[in-house]
Structure 1
Amino acid sequence: MPADLLAQIRIGRRIVDTAATHPSINPATGETLGAIADAGVEKAEMAIEAARHCFDHSLWAQSPRLRQDILLAWASGLEAITEEAARWLTLTNGKPLAAARGEIAASVSEIRYYAGLARHNPGHAMEVAPGEVSVMLREPAGVAGIIVPWNAPAVLLIRSLAPAIAAGCTSVIKPAPQTAAFTDVCLRPLLELPQLPDGAISVLPEAGHAVSQALVTSPAVDVISFTGSNAVGQSIMAAAAPTMKKLSLELGGKSCCIVLEDADVAAIAPKLAAAATIISGQQCTAARRILVHESRFEETKAALAAALEATKIGDGLDAGTQMGPLISAAARDAVKTRIEEVFDTADEVVLRHSVPADGPAGSAFLTPSLVAHHDPKADFCQEEIFGPMLVIEPFSNEVEAVAKANDTVYGLSASVWTNRGDAAWRIARALRDGTVWINDHNKLFAEAETGGYRRSGLGRLHGFDALLDFCELKHVYQNVGVVGM
């Protein structure tokens, strides 16, 4: 690889040259890290054709032991380069190095989890009438297009690619341009395995959307797995409709944290602040709204403001950094402008953000904001603002808390904070969200399915059910008769 080319176009086993590139920028410094190869429609069609040929004309889909071996080898290879991968994750994404190391560890765990499931994806059989047998087989869906976001580019790649491999699909990956250099490092231990069939995995970095569009509209692609905004998810659904693809979509969220009157406010305020500032607020499950019993509202507001203000912001490579920059200066400026519009209409601005004066030119830092508001129908209580801003809202009883939390088009995640187990479970069951945490937030595991209700998406990722997004269920029937009848 040329010294300044950090990510190349890989179509199966081939590295494909291109003159088109785009820069990879460190959001903590504004510095250019190097160049990223820029694929287009022609390369996308080549990769889709290679994936289709591998699926249709090799034994990849029928070889669970091979796929398990490949997943296990990838996990070991990625684990061996944890420090290199984590550093590239921090350089391209901005998150603290400790968080990057944690994401690599979680990714390795997830690959090994799906390596186990590669050899255990069973169907079922039944005798529907005397001598009449119905067998249900779970078969790989075909070619998967995987469109990866930049905010957690290791886990959000692997929670799609690992089950796709386990199920027997071939895959074409479109990494996020901001973190494509990291994706190249992450995938290298997989793509260099000699036992990986040609065409099983291709990677197409790009600056724009031509590759994504080609994947979504191609009749040769059977599955699209996408994590991102609700607006883009809707566009993917519309563009994929003519070819009736299987869609796995994890989209936006507006996560509520419900704080009951018995909660230890001093203890939980730093946890709520951390839940809001994870990946600088750029995570779909990040805490967005804090609903607090009215008897503890003022106390919680003050404690939360103090915890947010105490968050140490800086370069993710610096020791002690708790929150890094946003993904780019342009994204930071857009988020800043939107939050300043919120300041004009919120009941109270509790904590006003700033751009640190000592940040390097071109960096993307923004300190957290907190507003207090009573009306859950306000646009900023409904809209996902992808940055470090929280809204704190009062409620008088459980019924009102649940009604406020459910008054949204989203349904991805929420949390309940209380020492009363009965209340926690009662509220968790009433919330219309795919994940509800009790006295915690943002806890995600390879073994536990994640996904949303309503406009937060379709399907589930992580866990055994993630295989469903990459499988078709086939019913095979035969009347075999009954001995002696």
Structure 2
Amino acid sequence: MQVRHHINGDWLDGDGWVDSLDPATGERLGAFAEGGEAQARAAVDAATAAFAQPLWSQNPRLRQQVLLAWAAALEPRRDELARLLTLENGKPLAQSLGEIGGAISEILYYAGLARHNPGPAMEVAPGEFSALFREPAGVAGLIIPWNAPAVLLIRALAPALAAGCTTVVKPAPQTALFNAAILEPLLALDALPAGVVNLFMESGHQGAAHLVTSPRVDVLSFTGSTATGTRIMQDAAPTMKKLSLELGGKSCCLVFEDADVDAIAPRLAAAATIISGQQCTAARRVLVHASQLPAMKTALRAALAALPLGHGLAPDSRIGPLIDHRARDLVGRRMDEAEQSCDQVILAGGQPGDPALRDGAFLLPSLIHHRDSGAFFCQEEIFGPLLVLEAFEDEAEAVARANHTEFGLSASVWTRDGARALRVARALRDGTVWINDHNKLFAEAETGGYRKSGLGRLHGFDALMDFTELKHVYQNVGTV
């Protein structure tokens, strides 16, 4: 499989080819065309020209038709796209199928909103009228990560298109084949004007840097690390462009004394190891009432140990590889350091001993117990299957521990007491709090973070706001 850039309606070759590898085996899957600043400039030029034409930016009915047609074209391709996603990303096939389904749902949701962008009008004085319009912001640059490349592409692209923006998509090199494949049915639509959706790929960062610094890119959407998001804010500052940033997280799961530990532990283990722990909302810290600490140690250790590692296409696989060997080595070192520094290692992680997994980027999950919430492994987002267990004595300590972080993306509360659940959820400084569940994400509800977890919101109606500008039009028509 070879994929090329798509700029101004044409598929274009690049500056050579870059291999894409299966992280579970190291085998070559195909290649994508190399790109960089030249391709980014051409894509921005095309998007700028397309936005200047009212055919797209002022035509909500066309935008809805295009989104609906894209969703319809993806439906019969669910299985093949999920298989490709698993091969290139490594996640188990069940997770890939769920992601493709969620991505199609997201397109349909924003297709519905494409024709609903009302603004208020008012008579402010006799004969004087004010109207407020939500207008598309312009050219949107979308930098897409590799961990959930279907949903994280579409939760940015669909609202951008629904709002009337034109776009430049820069996928992560690790999942460039998949992103090209899921975009291909959209790019093939005759109704889509040339230049509205542009795609370029690169193994480096020069093209992405151009999207950040170009004054002709009006909105930039990025999902990734807080460190990279900070650099984007700094570099984009001279252009004053709108930024939508979903950054790091260190999600806490607060388990109170009335919770059923044996029933909850397998769900926490699944929440901690989704995409091999490479999800920003994955469970990172489990805060459990001190009376339940011994039971949680036993139950959570057993639940994590019971999750089989393997190729994502293997029917019994529950944990796939990390995205590549570099990530495995970096995360593996931090997990080793955490195990050496913590109060107790409950389940040791590291590379598996199974010879069948030797060539893949696999890591076994690790569970550790620690008292000091200021430890680096309680504060740092370690993007892999590391779970930290902490104890608390009462609600106040649970909330204080959970809020002792620079992040604020998500958390969950586990209790049978409904009043406590809502009381604690309101006290947590997080953009999303689940009650007796974790990692429930869908098109209708906004997600995003407090503090260093980012700016703006994705999913839901508010995602449209990141891709619009508000215009006030005043007119004095006089009176009769």
Same fold (TM > 0.5): yes
Tell me the residue number matched to 1:211. Answer: 207
Whether 1:150 aligns to 2:129 is no
- Counterpart residue identity of residue 123, structure 2: E
Which whole-Å deviations, capped at 9, do the CAs of 1:353-372 have from their partners, x for residues lacking one?
13122244431011100110
1:233-382 correspondence to structure 2 within 5 Å: 233-357=229-353, 358-382=355-379
Partners of 2:74 and 2:290 in 1: how far apart?
48
> 1:18 pairs with 14, 19, 23, which one?
14
Which whole-Å deviations, capped at 9, do the CAs of 1:56-84 have from their partners, x for residues lacking one?
13421001010100000000111111111
Tell me the residue number matched to 2:60. Answer: 64
- The worse-fitting range, judged by mean Cα deviation, of 414-423 and 37-46 is 37-46
1:395-474 correspondence to structure 2 within 5 Å: 395-474=392-471
State the shift of 1:211 in Å.
1.0
- Counterpart residue identity of residue 431, structure 2: G
Structure 2 stretches lacking a partner, 5+ long:
none
Tell me the residue number matched to 1:172. Answer: 168
Tell me the residue number matched to 1:54. Answer: 50
- Counterpart residue identity of residue 383, structure 1: E
8 Å CA contact 2:352, 2:358 repeated in 1: no
- TM-score, normalization by structure 1: 0.98
Structure 1 stretches lacking a partner, 5+ long:
none
Partners of 2:8 and 2:314 in 1: how far apart?
38
State the shift of 1:435 in Å.
0.2
8 Å CA contact 1:146, 1:226 repeated in 2: yes
Partners of 1:360 and 1:269 in 2: how far apart?
26
8 Å CA contact 2:57, 2:164 repeated in 1: yes
SS in 2 for 1:59: helix
Which whole-Å deviations, capped at 9, do the CAs of 1:203-248 have from their partners, x for residues lacking one?
0111011110010111110000000000000011011000000000
8 Å CA contact 1:10, 1:204 repeated in 2: yes
Partners of 2:54 and 2:37 in 1: how far apart?
25
Tell me the residue number matched to 2:41. Answer: 45
State the shift of 1:177 in Å.
0.3
Which whole-Å deviations, capped at 9, do the CAs of 1:261-297 have from their partners, x for residues lacking one?
0000000000000000000000000000000000101
SS in 1 for 2:175: helix
SS in 2 for 1:249: strand
State the shift of 1:327 in Å.
0.3
Partners of 1:361 and 1:14 in 2: how far apart?
41
SS in 1 for 2:466: helix
8 Å CA contact 1:79, 1:104 repeated in 2: no
1:128-147 correspondence to structure 2 within 5 Å: 128-147=124-143
Tell me the residue number matched to 2:25. Answer: 29
- Counterpart residue identity of residue 319, structure 1: P
> 2:219 pairs with 214, 220, 223, which one?
223
8 Å CA contact 1:144, 1:172 repeated in 2: yes
Partners of 1:124 and 1:138 in 2: how far apart?
10
State the shift of 1:127 in Å.
2.1
Partners of 2:359 and 2:266 in 1: how far apart?
30
8 Å CA contact 2:336, 2:350 repeated in 1: no
Partners of 2:422 and 2:153 in 1: how far apart?
32
Tell me the residue number matched to 1:187. Answer: 183
Partners of 2:359 and 2:231 in 1: how far apart?
31
Partners of 1:274 and 1:303 in 2: how far apart?
13
Which whole-Å deviations, capped at 9, do the CAs of 1:36-66 have from their partners, x for residues lacking one?
1111111111110000000013421001010
- Counterpart residue identity of residue 468, structure 2: C
Tell me the residue number matched to 1:119. Answer: 115
Partners of 1:227 and 1:154 in 2: how far apart?
13
- Counterpart residue identity of residue 44, structure 1: A
Partners of 1:340 and 1:407 in 2: how far apart?
23
SS in 2 for 1:81: helix
State the shift of 1:384 in Å.
0.3
1:380-399 correspondence to structure 2 within 5 Å: 380-399=377-396
RMSD: 0.9
Partners of 2:476 and 2:414 in 1: how far apart?
56
Partners of 2:287 and 2:196 in 1: how far apart?
47
- TM-score, normalization by structure 2: 0.99
Give the 3 Å change call, closer, same or farther, for CA 361–299 of structure 1 in structure 2. closer
8 Å CA contact 1:329, 1:362 repeated in 2: no
State the shift of 1:339 in Å.
0.7
Tell me the residue number matched to 1:108. Answer: 104
Partners of 1:87 and 1:406 in 2: how far apart?
39
Tell me the residue number matched to 1:77. Answer: 73
8 Å CA contact 2:243, 2:456 repeated in 1: yes
Matched residues, number: 479
Partners of 1:23 and 1:186 in 2: how far apart?
19
Partners of 1:95 and 1:248 in 2: how far apart?
26
- Counterpart residue identity of residue 380, structure 2: E
- The worse-fitting range, judged by mean Cα deviation, of 373-382 and 256-265 is 373-382
8 Å CA contact 2:310, 2:357 repeated in 1: no
- The worse-fitting range, judged by mean Cα deviation, of 428-437 and 341-350 is 341-350
8 Å CA contact 2:290, 2:392 repeated in 1: yes
Whether 1:90 aligns to 2:90 is no
Partners of 1:252 and 1:472 in 2: how far apart?
27
SS in 2 for 1:240: helix
Partners of 1:215 and 1:398 in 2: how far apart?
45
Tell me the residue number matched to 2:473. Answer: 476
Partners of 1:361 and 1:378 in 2: how far apart?
32
State the shift of 1:130 in Å.
2.9
